[in-house]
Amino acid sequence: MKVALIQMNSGSDKGANIAAARELMERAIAEERPDWICLPEVFDFMGGSRADKQAAAEELPGGPAWTMLRDVARQHGVFIHGGSLLERIPGEERVGNTTVVFNRAGDEIARYRKIHMFDITAPNGQQYNESAAMKPGDAVATYDCEGVTVGCSICYDLRFPDLFQALAARGAQMIALPAAFTLQTGKDHWEVLLRARAIETETYVCAAGQTGAHMQGGEPRFTYGHSLVADPWGHVVARASDGVGYVAARIDPARVEHVRAMIPVARHKVKLT
């Protein structure tokens, strides 16, 4: 199975973001002919105030971002793991940070709302309070991609190995991680965490990131990019360059089975008290 990870620099112009996502996906399709494409976290809208996020969110199914993903999947016969988009939740002031997945026919086959909220203080003192604007999910999600079981995660979920273990326990052979990882944490933690999750679960981890600057609350915020694919042995087998673009790689389910046969960690687990 061939995969393509889209790396974007989304901002607060939703129409421009959707158009950029479509152009990058169609470029990857024309040049690489992937079976599966992953967009980054909140590809449709980054920055702005809480009210701006609520205005940009869309009820699912439907809305311009959701519809574009469905149409590209259907037109080009490709699986699309729609990174995440802002979901309007009826009766809720906060929005969902939500992945939607489409098969080759353009049918929605999975939906996942980010579980872990990014409420942290960065090394430079900059504060992030994702839970003020976004409502966390509470359900683990996997889906079948023509014989490959794919697990869903988003960005800050990467720091919680229990979620990745739960995905592996549900049969995941590949785990998608759309992200908007901060530059400050990304330069030290991004690759090592992705490789660790791949090694622990003996899965491919496919991480599509936002890159560059966007405005948040009147100040610039910087994302790390460096979208990459880590294999079940923890090797980085593909990595995007700096800037907007994409990276492609091949996923081999036999590689997953080979690694799990050599080091059968799932069989060696013990319940600790």
Q: What is the pLDDT along the chain (273 residues), one digit of tens a residue?
A: 999 999 999 999 999 999 999 999 999 999 999 999 999 999 999 998 889 999 999 999 999 999 999 999 999 999 999 999 999 999 999 999 999 999 999 999 999 999 999 999 988 888 889 999 999 999 999 999 999 999 999 999 999 999 999 999 999 999 999 999 999 999 999 999 999 999 999 999 999 999 999 988 778 889 999 999 999 999 999 999 999 999 999 999 999 999 999 999 999 999 888
271 catalytic per annotation:
no
CATH number at residue 74: 3.60.110.10
Does residue 249 fall inside a structural domain? Answer: yes
Does residue 198 fall inside a structural domain? Answer: yes
Distance, in Å, from the CA atom of 249 to the CA atom of 198, rounded to the nearest integer, reads 15
Overall number of domains in the chain: 1
- Cβ–Cβ < 8 Å for 246, 4: yes
| pLDDT value of residue 123 | 87
- Residue 242: CB atoms within 10 Å: 11
Non-local CB neighbours of 212 within 8 Å, separated by 6+ positions = 9, 222, 223, 225, 243, 244
Does residue 246 fall inside a structural domain? Answer: yes
145 catalytic per annotation:
no
Does residue 27 fall inside a structural domain? Answer: yes
pTM of the model: 0.96
Q: Out of 14, 41, 87, 202, which one is annotated catalytic?
A: 41
**Which residue type, as a one-letter code, is found at position 150?**
V
* Residue keyed to tokens 């199975």: 1
| pLDDT value of residue 49 | 86
Q: Can you give the residue range of the structural domain that contains 109? A: 2-268
Helix pair 161-169, 183-201: axis angle to 10 deg:
30
Q: Out of 38, 145, 152, 155, which one is annotated catalytic?
A: 155
Q: Out of 58, 114, 145, 152, which one is annotated catalytic?
A: 114
Does residue 156 fall inside a structural domain? Answer: yes
Does residue 273 fall inside a structural domain? Answer: no
Does residue 90 fall inside a structural domain? Answer: yes
What secondary structure does DSSP assign to 115-159, as a single string? -S--EEE-TTS-EEEGGGTEE------EEEETTEEEEE--GGGGG
Non-local CB neighbours of 237 within 8 Å, separated by 6+ positions = 229, 230, 231, 249
41 catalytic per annotation:
yes
Does residue 79 fall inside a structural domain? Answer: yes
